[in-house]
Amino acid sequence: MFIGDKTKKTVRILVRFRAGSIVRPDGTPLPKIQDGTLGDLALQADHLVDEAERRELEQESVMELLPPHTVVFVGLSPGMMNVIPRGLVKSVDLKAGYGYLFAEVRLQEPLVLRLRGDKEPALEECRCIIPRLNVVISVL
């Protein structure tokens, strides 16, 4: 299975369905696209003809990944901080020649994953505490 690189640039092409084909809004064909390319087609759910297919694609469920009070470590970018707080866990990548910082984070609520039809799964907002920084935050 191919998983694309999310750091690469993407393009958005506006399309229209005409006589069972996908074309640009002005009726011109789409540009040539590499065979096997994966993409997203976003449209209003009420435009799907088959009601059962629409319901299946709109179906949502949630899955608890971690319970409250679980301790996780979150990577921090040293370059994004004016002052690096004491007490963070340091890890050195000898190949790259630089280190990483990790902060202990305690979940105050369950960490939940929302599954929605063919859409990418997404984490729900979760209240956490970073003890070393004495900060309570909500993260997605």
Q: What is the pLDDT of residues 45-91, one digit of tens each?
A: 888 888 898 888 888 999 999 999 999 988 877 776 677 777 777 77
> For position 94, what pLDDT does the model report?
47
Mean pLDDT computed over 12-31: 81
pLDDT score for 98: 63
Is residue 9, in this structure, part of any structural domain at all? Answer: no
| C-alpha span between 132 and 86 (Å, rounded) | 8
Residue whose C-alpha is closest to residue 63's, from 104, 105, 116: 116
* 116 pLDDT higher than 80: yes
Residue 67's pLDDT is 97
Domain count, the chain: 1
Cα 75 to Cα 98: distance, rounded to the nearest angstrom: 14
pTM, rounded to two decimals: 0.60
Return the residue matching tokens 């979760």: 126
Domain membership flag for residue 3: no
Range of the domain at 108: 16-139
